[in-house]
Amino acid sequence: MNLSIIDWLIVACLFGGIAAVALLTRPFSRSVSDFLAGNRCAGRYLLTLSEGMAAMGLVGTIANFEKFYKAGFAASWWGLMMAPIALILALAGWVRYRFRETRAMTMAQFFEMRYSRRFRVFAGIVAWVSGVLNFGIFPGVVARFIVYFCGFPNELHVWGLTVPTIAPVMAVMLGVTLWLILSGGMVTVMIADFLQAQFINIVFLVLAFAMFAKFSWPQIAGTLSDSAPGHSLLNPFDQGAIADFDMWFFFIFAFKLIYNCLGWQGLQGYNCAAKSPHESRMAGILAEWRGGVSYLMVSLIPICVYVFLHNASFSAEAQVVHQALAGISDKQIQNQVTVPLSLVQILPVGVVGLLCAAMLAGSIGNDTTYLHAWGSIFIQDVILPIRGRHFSPEQHLRLLRFSIAGVAVFSFFFSLFFPMRDYIYMYQLITGAIYLGGSGAAIIGGLYWKRGTVAGAWGALITGASISVCGAVMRTVWPAVPKLAALSPNFPLNGAWMALVASLSAIAVYVTLSLLTCREDFNMEQLLHRGEYALPGEHQKAPHPHRWKWLGISPEFTRGDLCIYFAKIAWTGFWFTSFVIGTVVALVWGIPTEMWAKWWHFTVILGVVVGIITIVWFLWGGMRDLSSLLSTLRTAKRDPNDDGTVTHAGDLPVGQSAAPK
């Protein structure tokens, strides 16, 4: 065992806290709307922290560990070019604001409102298949981390049978996750994610100080400087030999920020949980600071592990890790467990327990959101529109719970038997692209282009899914075909490039078919509840109008919102200006490795300082939002028809069935 009694007590406290949240929040979830969207009562701080927690998770953290262990600090440089894109999207409320205006609970419900019921069902099936396959590896990756981090044996012998240890570990983790979701749906998930996010941020700060106590900056910079030409871990302009996480990887992600905004339905509960469209926009603006500490640590931790395994000063301690890795034959499992195995040797007692608890909290936060999403989508966007009328609230909630449990069972067996042959990021990209490749065109076109048509949406989604599936098949069979393998050992396009090809093809098909089939402009005012279709309370105007409309500032902005808004612009402007100047200087004159080392040292110190400030700031704002959420849920009047059903002529109200013929 790698954990001491103190470490195990810390982990036990985490599970005790989760149990308390499940029990205390259950009475607040009383309707389908509560279970699916928290009754649309979430404030900006609660929303941004919870959503960030759900988006990160242990699997995402391990994927980042893989990326930064291979590419070092230099991988962060190309991420800076996305700063103005993320800024513009957040300030404009790109997709997020308009989607919240529709009041749809899932993206496929919006597809029925904008296109047709049949397209909703088709999109729901594609999203569900893509999401379930994408999530299918999560329990296995998490369980494998726990097994290696805690020092459990790889196999257990029970009643004469040999059982892989990840099986009972997956069962326990999925059981805890299911109990949390089924207790109160999105209400419980959102509150648990918020509290766990704060806990993880605090733990990550503790880890930062622990890492600096173990490794001096000269040790870190010196070790990273010794990398071979083309594999620099400090200089982003000397990474030509790092094929998967190079500059183009981040260019593709920059495109995906725009094209797939709100596209991934693993977070669908948060997409519609904001108390107003403006709160949804502000949550997106605040996200810049939300992830600062987390992103700093998911880059710093694997880099310190690299130093631990490659610096002669730590060779004696690192020998234990090298021997353990040598005993693992599967290359991808080696990649996934390198950082966890090393951290056990690096961190002191107590901090090991904190890290284990934080990683488990991240796993639970991510898995609750994803299980909730994929289980809900199957009912909301496949079963419900096929039925064509409301279920009773009791029937609806029962089906949602059964569906969520079904996804958990599938993911257990999928993780147990599916062999990972690629980096986690690449697997996520290619399975996610089955839906994301075409859905981006249908979402953006449906929200912003009145001439987008049903034919265009069908064509885009079919095109994106088809290309993505073909890419997945080619990556699997290519090495097994001698003639293809002779041309290249692997399929020439990785998951990122296949996702880009699928997306661009879907856009072309959507625009072409829409122009060919559009006979009448769509009524966007009705879809977005504007003008004569406006709903009371959806848009609350501030007492003082603002003159900066050209910056995207609407009358809904308060003075406090303006401060956050301009701070966001200044912060992003600093990083992007640094990126532009650094890139020009590096390309024209070149920047020595020593200067890159100083730059990364500065970013780490700044990240820690800003992290301390934001933890206090977001804790205060989040607790205020949490109090408001619970107060609203205590007294809110529930609408039984607010269950995701799109009403058409002839549809029946809740509880009524069609008369027998």
For 498-538, what is each residue's pLDDT tens digit?
A: 888 889 999 999 999 999 999 999 999 999 888 888 877 66
Max Cα–Cα distance, the chain, nearest Å: 83
Cα-based distances in Å from 182 to 187, 265, 402, 476: 10, 19, 9, 37
Closest by CA position to 382, among listed 173, 112, 64, 74: 112
265: region left, alpha or beta (phi > 0 left; psi from -120 to 50 alpha): alpha
Domains of the chain: 5-421+562-635 (1.20.1730)
Residue 88 has phi, psi (to 5 degrees) of -60, -45
The residues with which 608 forms a beta bridge, in sequence order, are none
| pLDDT bucket at 215, cuts 50 / 70 / 90 | very high
Q: Are 149 and 336 in contact (CB under 8 A)?
A: no
Taking the C-alpha atoms of residue 369 and residue 646, their distance in angstroms, rounded to an integer, is: 24
Angle at CA of residue 404, ends 102 and 266, nearest 5°: 45
Whats the size of the chain, residue-wise? 661
Strand, coil or helix: 274: strand
Cα atoms in the 13 Å half-sphere on the side-chain side of 518: 18
- Please name the residues in contact with 315: beta carbons below 8 A apart, sequence gap of 6 or more: none
Taking the C-alpha atoms of residue 614 and residue 616, their distance in angstroms, rounded to an integer, is: 5
For residue 158, how many other CB atoms are within 10 A of its CB?
9
Taking the C-alpha atoms of residue 501 and residue 475, their distance in angstroms, rounded to an integer, is: 15
Cα-based distances in Å from 271 to 36, 103, 241, 648: 11, 10, 39, 24
pLDDT confidence of residue 291? 64
Residue whose pair of structure tokens reads 């059981």 in the numeric block: 175
Q: Is residue 555 scored above 80 in pLDDT?
A: no
Cα-based distances in Å from 370 to 38, 609, 644: 15, 32, 18
Q: Are 249 and 240 in contact (CB under 8 A)?
A: no
pLDDT confidence of residue 540? 57
The per-residue pLDDT for range 357-373, each reduced to its tens digit, is 988 988 898 888 889 88
| pLDDT bucket at 660, cuts 50 / 70 / 90 | very low
Taking the C-alpha atoms of residue 572 and residue 579, their distance in angstroms, rounded to an integer, is: 11
pLDDT confidence of residue 463? 95
Cα-based distances in Å from 562 to 112, 544, 552, 619: 36, 12, 11, 20
Q: Are 386 and 124 in contact (CB under 8 A)?
A: no
Max avg pLDDT among 196-200, 313-317, 494-498: 313-317
| pLDDT bucket at 656, cuts 50 / 70 / 90 | very low
- Please name the residues in contact with 566: beta carbons below 8 A apart, sequence gap of 6 or more: none
Percent helix, strand, coil in the chain (nearest 5)? 75, 0, 25
Beta strand ranges found along 34-129 (DSSP E): none
Q: Which amino acid type is present at position 323?
A: Q
Strand, coil or helix: 155: strand
The residues with which 156 forms a beta bridge, in sequence order, are 163
pLDDT > 90 fraction of the chain, expressed in percent and rounded: 25
Q: Is the dihedral of CA 170, 171, 172, 176 positive or negative?
A: positive
Q: Return the higher-pLDDT residue of 539 and 561.
A: 561
- pTM score of the predicted model: 0.79
Structural tokens at position 651? 């549809």
pLDDT confidence of residue 659? 37
Taking the C-alpha atoms of residue 386 and residue 379, their distance in angstroms, rounded to an integer, is: 10
Q: Are 392 and 43 in contact (CB under 8 A)?
A: no
Residue whose pair of structure tokens reads 């406090």 in the numeric block: 560
The per-residue pLDDT for range 584-607, each reduced to its tens digit, is 999 899 899 899 999 999 998 888
Q: Which amino acid type is present at position 115?
A: Y
Residue whose pair of structure tokens reads 């790889």 in the numeric block: 154
Q: Is the dihedral of CA 633, 638, 640, 643 positive or negative?
A: negative
The residues with which 274 forms a beta bridge, in sequence order, are 42
Taking the C-alpha atoms of residue 611 and residue 621, their distance in angstroms, rounded to an integer, is: 15
| pLDDT bucket at 539, cuts 50 / 70 / 90 | low
- Radius of gyration for the chain, computed over Cα atoms and rounded to the nearest angstrom: 25
- Kind and range of the H or E run holding 161: strand 161-164
